[in-house]
Amino acid sequence: AYGHVYQVDSLMDRNLAGAMDRSSELGPADTFILTHPHPDHIGGILAYKNLTTAIMHEKMRPVVEGILGAAKGEAKQQAAAYYLYEWFGQYLQRVLNVLPLPLQRLVVGLELGHYFAQFDPEKPEHLPIDVATFNGDSGFVHDHIELKCFGPTHSSFDCMVIVPEAKVVFAGDLLFVGVTPIMTSGSAQKWLNALIWLEQRIDSSWKVVAGHGPVTSVEGVEAVKHYFRALQDAVRQEGCSCLDDHTMCGLNFYSSPPDELRDWTDFHRAALNAHVECGWMNGQQPDQGEFMNLFVDAEVL
C-alpha cells in the first residue's frame, strides 16, 4: 500500500516468520508494525531482510529491547530444560498429579522450556532497524493505517492495527479465536472495553486477524466478549477467597464451562484468568513475579 509492504508482528522465530514473508504475494515487507511486546510477536524479526522501519507505541520499545536483550540467556535456559525434560522430566510428567507442588512446578517448567527450545533461538540483541514511535492512544501510518491502543490489557501494552481501505483489523492478542485468552495485565472489563470499541468500529464485512486462532469476523469478537462476561459472572459467583487461601481461583468455571466454550483449547487458563480478575476486583494489580507460578499451576489442572 502506498509503495510499502507492511508486516504486522513477526511470529515466534525466524523460521516461521521467513515462511510467512516468502509467501507474501506483495513481495518482502519493508515496514514492521507491532501490536504488543511479547516474544511470540517479535521473535522472528530477523527473517525480514528488507525491513527498514519498525512502528510501535513508545511504551513498547523498552519492553521489546528487554526481550531481545534477554533472549540469549533464555535460549540457554531453554536448551538446558530441553535435555532435563528428555532425561527425567517426561517420566515424572506421567505422575504429575501425585507430585508435591514444588516438583510439579519444576516438571511443567521443564516441559515449557522443552517446547520453546524447539524454536530457532537466533534473535538480535537490539532492534536492528530504525524505530518510529508514537504516544497517546492512536497513531497513524501515512494516514491509511490506524493504530488504536488500549494500554496494559493482555500484555504490558496492546494495540490494534486498522486498515479501513481493506476492511481488515489486526487485533493482536486482544483476540483469541477458539483458544482461551491469557490475562496478564488488565481486567476482564478492560479487555471487554477494547472489544466493544472494535465491534462499534466495524461491521460484518470486515475481516479480523486474531493474535491466536483463525481469521474471523465480528462473530469471533462477540465470542471472546462472551468468554469474558462468563468469566466475570463466574468470579462473582465463586468469590475470591482463593486469594487468601492461596488456592486456584475459578475452578468451577474451569470444570463446568458454558457449553459454547467447552471446545476452546487451553481452557485451564480460566483458573489463571480468574485469579487475575479476582486481584483486580480486590484492588490488586497482577504480580508479574507470581504470574509464572500461576501459569504453571493452571497447566497442572
Are 111 and 197 found together in one domain? no
Does residue 60 fall inside a structural domain? no
Sequence-ordered list of residues with C-beta below 8 angstroms from that of 286, at least 6 positions apart, any chain: 183, 184, 185, 276, 279, 280
Domain interval for residue 220: 136-300
Cα–Cα nearest to 176, from 211, 137, 222: 211
Name the grid cell of 128.
Answer: 536492528
Instruction: Looking at the structure, tell me whether residues 226 and 278 fall in a common domain.
Output: yes
Helices (H), the chain: 14-23, 39-42, 61-84, 90-93, 101-116, 188-201, 218-238, 241-245, 251-255, 269-281, 288-300
pLDDT (average), residues 146-170: 97
Give the containing element (helix H, strand E) for 151. Answer: strand 145-151
Q: Do 102 and 239 reside in the same domain of the chain?
A: no
Spatial separation of the C-alpha atoms in residues 37 and 44, rounded to whole Å: 13
As for how many domains the chain has, the answer is 2
What are 208-234's pLDDT values in tens digits? 999 999 999 999 999 999 999 999 999
For residues 180 and 275, membership in a common domain is answered with: yes
Claim to verify: residue 141 and residue 181 sit in the same structural domain: yes
Same domain, yes or no: 197 and 86: no
Domain boundary among 55, 87, 118: 118
**114 in a structural domain:** yes
Find the mean pLDDT for residues 119-126: 95
Strand partners, 102: none
pLDDT at 285 over 90: no
The dihedral over CA atoms of 154, 110, 268, 210, expressed in degrees to the nearest 10, equals 40
**How many angstroms separate the CA atoms of 287 and 279, rounded?**
9
Q: DSSP readout, 244-284?
A: HHT--S-HHHHHS--GGGTT-BTTTHHHHHHHHHHHHHTT-
> What mean pLDDT is predicted for residues 151-177?
97
In this structure, the answer to whether residues 97 and 192 fall within a common structural domain is: no
Q: Which of 87, 118, 149 is the last residue of a domain?
A: 118
Q: Are 8 and 173 in contact (CB under 8 A)?
A: no
Q: Rounded to the nearest 5°, which phi and psi values hold at 251?
A: -70, -30
Q: Are 114 and 145 contained in the same domain?
A: no
The answer to whether position 18 is within a domain reads: no
CB 114 within 8 A of CB 107: no
Q: Give the global pTM.
A: 0.94
Question: Considering the domain boundaries, does residue 155 fall inside one?
Answer: yes
Is residue 99 in a domain? yes
- Interval 86-103 mean pLDDT: 95
Pair type for strands 31-33 and 53-57 = parallel
Q: Higher pLDDT residue, 240 or 294?
A: 240
Which pLDDT score, from 0 to 100, does residue 290 have? 82
pLDDT at 30: 95
User: In this structure, are 255 and 108 located in the same domain?
Assistant: no
Per-residue pLDDT, 99: 94
Question: 296: pLDDT confidence band, cut at 50, 70 and 90?
Answer: confident
Q: Look-up: residue for cell 505422575?
A: 95
**Cell 514511535 appears where?**
133
Q: Are residues 143 and 250 in the same domain?
A: yes
CATH of the domain at 171: 3.60.15
- Tell me the mean pLDDT in the region 7-19: 96
Q: Are residues 266 and 172 in the same domain?
A: yes
What is the reported pLDDT for 293?
85
Cα–Cα distance list, 147 to 5, 19, 162 (Å): 16, 25, 6
Cα–Cα distance list, 52 to 7, 48, 283 (Å): 11, 9, 43
pLDDT of residue 1: 59
| pLDDT of 16 strictly over 80 | yes
Q: Quote the percentage of the chain above a pLDDT of 90.
A: 91
In a domain, 219, yes or no: yes
Q: What is the mean pLDDT of the chain?
A: 95
Both 210 and 253 in one domain: the answer is yes
Using one digit for the tens of pLDDT, what is the confidence trace for 74-89?
999 999 999 999 999 9
* pLDDT tens digits, one per residue of 258-273: 999 999 999 999 999 9
Residue 52 belongs to some domain of the structure: no
